[in-house]
Structure 1
C-alpha cells in the first residue's frame, strides 16, 4: 500500500468519525426537542385544539388540532398554514411568528359575535397555539393554567403581569379600557408598582384617562402573587372618589362659612382631637394658631385655656380633671351650656353640642356687650321701680292687651294686700273685680273698661270713688305710649301740699 492510499484511508476514517458525531448530536437534539415538546403537550388537555411550532415550523398537535388541519395537509402546514386556518375567525392572528410582538403570552380574540380566543404561549423558540371555545373554556390563564370563565366575564378589570410589569393576560373589562393592537400587544393601563419579590402588595388607588373623556376613571387595585406573576384586581372607585371630593368641597365651604362667624368654633373628633376650628376661636381664646393647627387633644386644649386665663380658674387642680370630664360628657349629650366670667372682665357663653360619629363641638360666644346691656337695663328698671315705690299714690300700669305690667308698694298700703299680688300678671278684668269688691257701687269700673277697649281719642280723666271703709279716693286714668295706660288711686285729704300737687300733675 502506497503512502497516498494510506492518507486517503485516514481522511475517509476521519470524515466518517465527524459524520457519526454530527449524527449523534442531531439525534440527541431531536430527542430532547421532542421530549420538551411532548412535555408541553402532556401538560395540556388533549381534548383541546393545540398546535406546537419550533422556529415557525409545525412539529406536533393534539387530535382536535389535527382534525382541524386535515384539509390543509400537515406536510405544508407551517405557521402561514395555521394563519390560513384561523384568520377567517381570528382576523388579527399574525401571518408570521415574529409578528407576535413583545411578551411570552398573547390572547387573540375572535371577531364578534364569536367569543372564542387563541392563546399563544412561547418558550424560547417553541410556540404553543391553543384554540379556546367560549362555550367550554375561558381565555384567562393563571400562570400556565386556565382560569375560570368568571374572571373573563367579571365586570371589573382583572389582569396578570410578569416580573417586568408587562401584561401577560387580561379579561374583557381590561381590554375595554385599552384594546389589544393588531400584533396582540396589550398595553399597561394601570399605574401599579412592580414587586420584584412578588409579595402581596398594598391596595392602591389609581386613575385611568380614556381618550375623549375629560374626567378620569378611578379604581382601587389589589395585587396578589401567583407563582412568578402578579394578579391584579381593579374595583370601580368612582363613586368613592366623587363622595370624597364632595365631602372635601363641603368641608371647605363650611370652613369658609365658619371663618365669617364671630362665634368661636372647635370641633373634636371621636378621638377627642381638634379637627376643625375657625379664626374667631383664635381671637376669643388667644391660643396660638400653630398650637390649634397641630390638633391638640381636648384636655390639652382646655388646659391651655386655663393657663392663659381664658376660662374660670378652678378651685383646685385635683378636681379640675373631673370637672373637665363631666363637661365633655355633658357636651356629648348636648347638655352643656355655661357662662364664663373671665378675670379680664369678659363674659363668654360656652355651649357643647354632639356631632356625628362621636365628635363633639364647642361654641365660644363673647356676650360681654349683651351682659353689660342687660345689667344696665336691669339697673335702670330697679331705679325706676324704686322711684315708683317712693310715690304715695297707688300706680297700676296695664299693657295694650290689658295685662298688669307695673305697680308700686302703695298697693299694699292702700288695698291691704301683699305686694307680690300687685306685681302678679293680673288682667284688667281681674283687677277691676278686685277693686269693685272693695269699693262702693259706681260706674267707674265700666268707664275704665271702655277706656281700655278704645284706641282712639284717649284723654286723661279722673273721678272719685269711696272704699267700703269710707275712705274717699281720687281715681285718675291716663293713656301711655304703645296703647298702654295707667290707673292712679290717691287718698283725698283736705289739705294738699304743693309737692303732692306737682306729683299728681306730673302723672
Structure 2
C-alpha cells in the first residue's frame, strides 16, 4: 500500500510538471474530501480561455489547432490525476493488483507527452527554460544551431553557445539579453543572423517563475524582409562610416555628377577652398582646381594614375597629386598635398648619401643584398676585404655568384662539402633573426660574420676582421696564466679580492702563512670569513678592521698599509692596493728580520744620542771652565806686552806675541763651541737691528788684515755703494763673514786673491766669499758643514772644523740659506742668502 501511495504521489507531481511545461497559466486547486482528492483548475477551460492562456507563449498565426490539442491533453491529464487520486484513497488494498493498469495509464501519459513534443517540433524551433540559476532545459530542434546537414547526436545545450552559430555581434546582443532575462525578467525580441545568411527570431520572457527563450527560424517572407532591412541598415552604416572616414582624412575629396558639377565634398575640401560649410561649397560650385586643370582631368589626364598640378589651398600655393576616376553616376576625385615630398625626397637622398659616406669610412665590411639575393650596396671595406673588382660588384651579382667567385680565388674557409656550406649560408634569407658565424680564412684571418635580415627582404652582411682581437685575447689569456703562475710561485703572500668582497686568488704562500684549507679557497670565501680564519694566528683586531674597510669600502678607495704580528713572532707588513673594476690586491711582506734590525738600530741611535748629549754637555762645561783661565792668560799677556810691569827683551816680546795669538785663536774656538751649544739648546737669540752691508763687510775684513798680509793673499771687495742695509744681527753677520774669510785665506796660496761680493734683489741679499785655492772634491764638499770636520787638502790651514758649521747655523737663524760650490783646482765659492723681509725671515727661522 505504501508503494501504491508513492506511485500516486509521483504521478500527481508529474502531472503538475506537465501542466507547467505546457505553459497553462491557471491556478490548480487540490481539495480532499471524504477520502477522495479532487483536482480542478480555477477558471473556465473552454477553448477561448485556453487559447488566451497559450497566447502569451505561442505566437500569433495559423497554430490554433495546437492550442486545442494542448487543451485536450490538459483535460486528459486532469482526469487521469483525479482517477489516480480516487483509486489511491478508495482502493488502497487493491493497488497492487491494478499496477498493470497504472502502467497502461503511464504509457498513455507518455503518448500524450509525445504528442505535445510533436506539436512543439511542428516548426523548426527550440525552447530553452531556466529555473533560477540552475542548468538550462532545451527542447525542440537543436539543428537550428547549425547550417547545412541536421545533427544526428550531441549535447542539445550546445545551442546555447551562440557565438558558434550566430554572427559575433548578434551573439553578443543575445547573450546580454538572456542575462537580463535571467537576472531581472526583462523580455525581448531580436532578429538574428547566422554566418550563412539565415534569419533567427529570438523571443524571451519570464513565465511561471522561469526564464523562457524561444528560438525559431523565420518564414520565407519574413526572412526576405529581414534580409532587406539588414542590407539597408548595413548600407546606411557603411555610407555613414565612409562619410566620416572621408571627413577625417586631411586630403580634399569630392564627387561630381554626370554634368561635372560638384555633388559632395569632404571637410578637407571645404577648408582648402575656404567655403565655410559643405553646403556653401556644393551650392556655390567652389572649385579647388582651375579651369585648365579641370579640362586636363576631363580629357582623361587623371585616370588611375595621379596628375601633379598646382593649386591654391587655404590661401597658399601647393603642389597636388590629383586622381579622379569615373563612377556610375559621375566622377570622384582626391588631391594629395605633395609640396613637401620633393624636399623630403631630397633630404632622404642626402641622408642616404651621408650614410653611404659613413659606411665607406667604417673598418667593418658591409654588404646589402635584396630579396632576390642581388648585391645592392657595398662599402669600400667590403671591396678591400675580399679584393673584388669594382666593375664586377657594379653588375649587382647574386650572393651565390660572389661565393663561387671567392671560392675560386681560395679566399673562403676550406669546406669538405662546399655545396652544403653554401646552402647553409644562403638559408639566412629565410631567417627572422640575425645570425652570427665565424669564418676562418686560409690566409689566417678570422672574420665575425653577422647576417641581419632586412624588413623589406634580403640581408645585410657585416664582416668584422677580428684576427687581431683573437690574437690579443690569446696573448692576454697566456699572460694571465703566466701572471697567475708567477704570483703563485712568489714567496711573498698575495691575495686578490673582487668587487663583491670575495677572494678570487690566493697564492700558495698566502695559504701557507695563514694555514688556509684548499677547499675553503675553492669556495671563494668572503673577506669576513678570510679574516676570521687569519685572526687565529694574528688576534690583533685593529689592522683587520682597516683591511676589511680597504676591501669592501665604497665611498673612497685608496691604498693602505698596516703591520700584522703573528703569534709565532713573525711580523708582516700588509699593503692593500685598489685594482680596476673594484678589485683589491693584498700583499704581505715578512719584515721580522728588518724589525729586529730596526730595534737594534733604534737602541744604538738612542745610545748615540745620549752620548752626543753627554759630549755637548761636557764640551759646554769644559768651554766655560777654559774660558775663565784663558781670559786671565790673555789679560796677563797684554800686560806683559804693554811692558807695564817692566821692559821686555826681543825674545820675551816675541814669546808674548805668540802667547797672545794662540790665546786669541783658542778664545775664538771656545766662543764658537759655546755658540753652537747655545744654538743646540735653543737659547741663542738674535739681536736684530738695521745693519749697513758695506760697513759690516769692511769691519769683518779689518779683523783679518794681518793674516792677509802674512799670507800674501790679495782681497777684492765687490760691494756696490748703493747696497744699502737690512735687518739682521750685525755681530753674527760679521762673525759669518769672518769665518768665511778665514777659511778662504787659509785655503789660498801666496799671490792668490779672495773676493767678497754683495748683491741685492727685491727679496734677498746675497753675500759671496770665493777663493782661487785648490778647491775640494764633491765628497769632501758634502761634509764641510758638519761639526768637527777639518780638512787641510794639502794646505797649512788646520782648524777644529766649526767655522762653516757656525756659518750655516747663523744663516739659518736669520731664515736664510748657504750654498757651497767647489771643484778640485777651481777654488771654492760660498754664498749666504738672507731674506730682506724681517717677519718672513723670523718665521722661516722658527
The normalised TM-score by structure 1 is 0.48
Bigger-Rg structure (1/2): 2
